[in-house]
Each structure stands twice: as C-alpha cells, then as structure tokens.
Amino acid sequence: MRSPVNSFYGFALPEGLQRAINELKFDVPTPIQTQAIPPALGNRDVIATAQTGTGKTAAFCIPIITKLEKNPNKAALILVPTREIAMQIGGVLAQLSKYLQKITPVTIVGGVPMSPQIRQLSKQPRIIIATPGRLADHLRRGTVSLFRIDMFVLDEADRMLDMGFAAQLNEILRFLPGNRQTLFYSATMPPNIQKLAARFLKTPVEVTVGPVSKPIEEIRQSAIQTTQAKKNTVLMDELKTRAGSVLIFARTKHRTDRLAIQLTQAGHQVNRIHGGRSQGQRNSAINGFKLGKVRILVATDIAARGIDIPHIAHVINYDLPMTAEDYIHRVGRTARAGADGNALSFVTPEERGQWKEISNRFL
C-alpha cells in the first residue's frame, strides 16, 4: 500500500508549482487529491469520484502541470461540458503554473468565432480545454490535431452524457492516440459513465471519496411547501432574511428571464444565465456575480455543474430540477471547500412527487 500523503510536499512537485500551491493557501491536499494525484503522476489511468467542491480540478491540474514541466513533448486535452467550466479551469491552470515555463491553455468553446481559435490551435498548444461540440467541429474541419495529446481528462463526466455529448465523445475518441493517459472526474458515477469508462480507460485506478450519492454534509437542506402563484412572495421574504450571495435555479430560459426581471423590479441586483444568452452575456453574468457586484444569479441547470464560486451562501430551487441527480449538483454550488451553505427548495403540489424522490435519496 502507498502511504497516505497528507502534505503537498509528499508529491515532490516541481518547485514553482509547490510555490503556487502555497500561495493559494492549499495547506493540505483534499482526500480526492491525496488519492488521485499519485496514480495520475504515475501514468495510470484514473477514474475519480468525489462530492462537489472537494478539489477535483486541482486533482487533475497538478499532475498535468507536473508532467508538462518535466517533459516538453507532452500535451493535454481537458474536455468539459460547459464553456464556463472551461474558463474556470483555464484560470486554475494559470494560477498553478504562474512560476513555471509559460503554458498557456487554449480554450475551445462554442458561441465565439472560429478564426481566433484556429490561429491559436495552429501554434500547437500544450493544453487544450474544450467543450465537445466545438472540438468536434474543429476536428471535422481539420483545424485541430490531437495526435500529440498524451493526457486526456474528462471532467464532469456524468454531465457530458446528460447533455447528449456521447456521439461527439466517440468522435473525439477516434482522433486521440491510443497510447495516452486518461483521467475521468465526476461527482456522481451512474452506470452509463462506467460503460463510457470501459471504452476510454485502460485498467484504471478507481478512486472514490465520500458517499457520492449524497450532497456533502455542510449543506443545510430545507424545503418550503408553496404554490406557483405564491413562489415570488415567498422568495422575496427569503431573500430579505438571508445574508450573502444567492444562486437561484429556475426550470426554463423563459422562467429564468422572467424571474430576473421581477427581482430587478423589486429592487434586487440580479444577473441571469442560460443557454439562450450570448457568450458575452454569460461571461458578464458569471463575472459580476463572482466579483460580488450583484448578489443574486438566476440560472437554468447550465450553472448546476462545476461552477466554483466560494462565496455562494444559498442555493434556492425556485423550481425543482427535472432529474433528482441534478439536485446534488445544484446544491453543490454552495458549501465549497469546507464552507457552510444552505439549500432551499420550493415545492408546489405539482412538484410533490419529484420532491419525494429527491428527499428520499438525498436528505
């Protein structure tokens, strides 16, 4: 058995990387980092499952940076389900590699023009962070080559399949060198991911931390029985009694827009994000919320996964999610990195069945 590593020094990382980790005040590795970093550094394939907010991003960024630093021929591809997660990971890589040779990740996401991406890709970047749709687009046009990729990461693997990316993933798989290392990260590991893993990974080391079928304990979960007609009044009251940043989930783009407008009219500072908005609008919505310029972000499930904004104090399910699984991810936007958080769900008579399933499984 490998002895447990309870300090980042135990991984013997490049000095510049260790320095950046110290600066981020990561005193000790989180459990998923302790378990997933050594096999990843040892060139093994890894399938890692750990609850939301437990440091999965650094668990794959640290081995990637270490290997790129040690071997100038190495290159990595990180696939993620949403554009916002891609940019967030770009930020983490930049922070962690600031004292090392400059490794600038290229971010290949949809909703923005192709030509700047084509220019960046032609320079043979050593890290590509991409969403599957746009990467598959580049592959079809021949504007990206993946033959140098020897590290492949799939983050939020479960979400990829939910979002219907299976076909694109298979397409991308055909272009990836067989001789590569593959790392899968997910907060939940449903059976369809295990099937996908069987195709992508070679005798992986499986690492699971915590009861992955439950939200983390630090989240105080509660529900209010209400009606469609009363939701807004109840919400306004709740916003008055709660302090700190609030992420509110609504079911559709239209309901997200409408609620944001109603909250604005009631005097709140609100941003909104959903798949119908432009990339510029999505970025400014996330950034304003992240910087604390606006207290409230109203969102569809596009913001349910991966987004790491440590100061989110409350998640409110204005509408319940379509699937029970999404509940874990939504409420996991709060209580990040050991902080506390609150999750409140509105339950109308029509939503009682859904709530029963959620509360049976997750409360």
Binding site for Mg ion (CB under 5 A): 56, 306
Which SS3 state, helix, strand or coil, does residue 274 take? coil
In this chain, which of 58, 153, 296, 347 binds ligand ADP, going by CB under 6 A? 58
Packed helices 231-241 and 253-265: angle between N→C axes, nearest 10 degrees: 60
In this chain, which of 53, 63, 105, 215 binds ligand ADP, going by CB under 6 A? 53
Which is nearest to 328 in space by CA: 232, 186, 231, 209? 186
Question: Min. distance of Cβ 31 from Mg ion in angstroms?
Answer: 15
Query: 144 with 121: CB under 8 angstroms?
Result: yes
Distance separating alpha carbons of residues 147 and 290, to the nearest angstrom: 37
Q: Binding mask 299-338 vs ligand ADP (x if CB under 6 A, - otherwise)? A: ---------x-x-------------------------xx-
Which does residue 54 bind out of ligand ADP, Mg ion, none, counting CB within 5 to 8 angstroms by kind? ligand ADP
By CB under 6 A, how many residues form the interface with ligand ADP?
A: 16
Place of tokens 């069987």: 198
Which is nearest to 323 in space by CA: 276, 275, 297, 362? 362
Q: Which residues contact 341 (CB under 8 A, 6 or more apart)?
A: 218, 219, 220, 312, 313, 314, 315, 331, 334, 335
Q: Which is closer to Mg ion, CB of 197 or CB of 347?
A: 197
By the rule CB under 6 A, 81 interacts with ligand ADP: no
Which does residue 58 bind out of ligand ADP, Mg ion, none, counting CB within 5 to 8 angstroms by kind? ligand ADP
Question: Min. distance of Cβ 333 from ligand ADP in angstroms?
Answer: 9
In this chain, which of 34, 35, 57, 271 binds ligand ADP, going by CB under 6 A? 57
Q: Which residues bind ligand ADP (CB under 6 A)?
A: 26, 29-30, 33, 50, 52-58, 308, 310, 336-337
